[in-house]
Amino acid sequence: MSAKRCVMIVSIAFLILLAVHMGASYGRLPDRVASHFDLSGRPNGWMDKASLLIMFVAMAVAFNALTLLLVPWLIRKTPQRWVNLPWKRYWFATPERKEQAMQRQEAVGTAAGVVTNLLLLIAWHTIYQENVLGARPRLPIGGVVYMVLGIAVVYILWALLYLRPPRTDSPR
């Protein structure tokens, strides 16, 4: 199975999990929900639950259309001179390597969907915890910021390592 397909399956699994969680918990939300939190986890913004649902569905659709459909299409359609790719000379030296690079870039772009869907799931669950369970979010918002930064660092490192030429073929 290709890396892109594997990443896409994980992304779609998180999206399905988000949809199931939203469907199962929406009816339990009060009409007016706390939807924004300060760094200590205290609510500081509210909206009606229908608007919250519309916002989350719109974000999920937009981000998934971007990462699963638009990014891979753009990678294929972008002129080579506009491509900013680590080790570009290596990857574009032959048609076979260029195709490999395109597939790898698509996997990296699609992986952003995994991160986005995971963050949407965490955000929905945080809102659910505060509004239905009456519990402060178990993961402080400051912790979420650190988690997002950590995910970004891991994502960037993975992307750079994944786009690195194989050691056996790399020019000296």
DSSP assignment of 22-73 equals HHHHGGGS-SEEEEEE-TTS-EEEEEEHHHHHHHHHHHHHHHHIIIIIIHHH
Asked if the structure places residue 169 within a domain, the reply is: no
What range defines the domain where residue 39 resides? Answer: 3-162
Mind listing the pLDDT tens digit for each residue in 155-169? 788 777 788 888 775
Asked if the structure places residue 172 within a domain, the reply is: no
Asked if the structure places residue 27 within a domain, the reply is: yes
For the chain, what is the domain count?
1
Asked if the structure places residue 167 within a domain, the reply is: no
Mind listing the pLDDT tens digit for each residue in 55-114? 999 999 999 998 888 888 888 898 988 988 888 889 999 999 999 888 888 888 888 888
Asked if the structure places residue 71 within a domain, the reply is: yes
Tokens of 91: 């990857």
